[in-house]
Amino acid sequence: MTVLKNDRLLRALLRQPVDKTPIWIMRQAGRYLPEYREVRAKAGNFLTMCTTPELACEVTVQPIRRFNLDGAIIFSDILTIPNAMGLGLYFTEGKGPCFERPVRTESQIHALSVPDPETELRYVMDAIRLTRQELDGKVPLIGFSGSPWTLACYMVEGESSREFTLIKSLLFDQSKLLHHLLHTLAQSVTSYLNAQIAAGAQAVMIFDTWGGTLSNRDYLEFSLSYMSRIIQGLTRENEGCRIPIILFTKGGGLWIDQMINSDCDALGLDWTISLAKTRAQVGQKIALQGNMDPCVLYASKERIHQEVASILKDYGSGNGHVFNLGHGIHPTIDPEKVAYLVDTVHELSQPYHSF
């Protein structure tokens, strides 16, 4: 087993002492990096990059080579599970992910089965194994999945949506059928994340991108309950180390207290949430990840410096904070601003820790 040279991220996620606040960035392996765009051009399309372990490994490691980040996140997509279920994932410019065969009827939903992560999704596991070798213990590797609700949104709508009319029609008129779909997806996500952990992921994150579109009652019933079920089924230790679990619901500020009870180790926060109020709310129960507005990276370095200082002050002294953006980095961000952000977080956070 390779010794981890920088375990700052894992320690923070488990609310253990660190010398400075760790930072990683959602979508850090992505289109804002020129070296990523070179690989993407050679690959021909996004899905080829995802399904080719060597390419996924390369773009996962690219930001680690360039920046002093405290963690890597495997390059993949949240829709790998429905693609493995045979829905025919494809991407169109300006529209994003789409499915050739969305599921909307009882027969289509009941025909779905849980993919075997070491067969239909083996390319993800191979990418994780390759990336662990390539990282050689420099930083920990994060695995991830979309939440059942978020996956169901894409699977039923067939593409991104603003109104979510089809999935919400299913929710209101055929809730039993939607629960069947979500149950199948929860089993799939649990199996998928456990396979990622077995392959070498040292932390995992559940992305609930569309949970915030639900009402209070519906979020608890159709989103959080299934994420809680997944967390209960996850491997919590591997290679002699605890595996932290991060739960992120975009627009989820209303449900902080309920998310704490999911038994996750950390909550990801978007930029609409007060980090200071949330820390006061959670106390010592859980770590917090976030939560800078990604658009701050379009601003001057002086303004980035101010924002970092403000967020660190909001969290205050002590353990349990991972600095991140409140959602994914935008593709037109200047990489120099990212380098400045990472270094500024490390520099300004030291007084908040007594390691």
Task: Return binding residues for substrate.
Answer: 27-31, 77, 154, 209, 327
Q: Which of 90, 207, 196, 233 is nearest to 148 (CA)?
A: 207
Q: Is 15 a catalytic residue?
A: no
Pairing relationship of beta strands 266-268 and 245-249 according to DSSP bridges:
parallel
- The whole-angstrom distance between residue 142's C-alpha and the CA centroid of its chain comes to 8
Residue in 31, 104, 229, 242 annotated catalytic:
31
> 8, 11, 15, 40: which is the annotated catalytic residue?
40
Give the whole-number percent of the chain exceeding pLDDT 90: 95
Q: Is 98 in contact with 91 (CB distance < 8 Å)? A: yes
Q: How many C-beta atoms lie closer than 10 Å to residue 223's C-beta?
A: 25
Confidence band for 219, pLDDT divided at 50, 70 and 90: very high
Which pLDDT score is estimated for 1? Answer: 64
Active site residue 154: yes
Selecting among 11, 27, 132, 279, the annotated active-site residue is 27
Taking only the tens place, the pLDDT of each residue in 19-61 is 999 999 999 999 999 999 999 999 999 999 999 999 999 999 9
Q: Catalytic site residue 31?
A: yes
**pLDDT tens sequence across 235-280:** 999 999 999 999 999 999 999 999 999 999 999 999 999 999 999 9
Phi and psi for 256 in degrees, rounded to 5? -55, -50
pLDDT given for residue 269 in this prediction? 98
* pLDDT score recorded for residue 355: 63
Q: Decide if pLDDT at 224 tops 70.
A: yes
Q: Does domain 8-352 have CATH number 3.20.20.210?
A: yes
Binding residues: 27-31, 77, 154, 209, 327
Q: Does the pLDDT at position 160 exceed 90?
A: no
CA 212 to chain CA mean position, Å:
15
**Side chain identity at residue 275, one-letter code:** L
What per-residue confidence (pLDDT) applies to 40?
A: 94
pLDDT in tens, 91-135: 887 778 999 999 999 999 999 999 999 999 999 999 999 999 999
Question: What's the CA angle centered on 110, arms 84 and 92, to 5 degrees?
Answer: 40
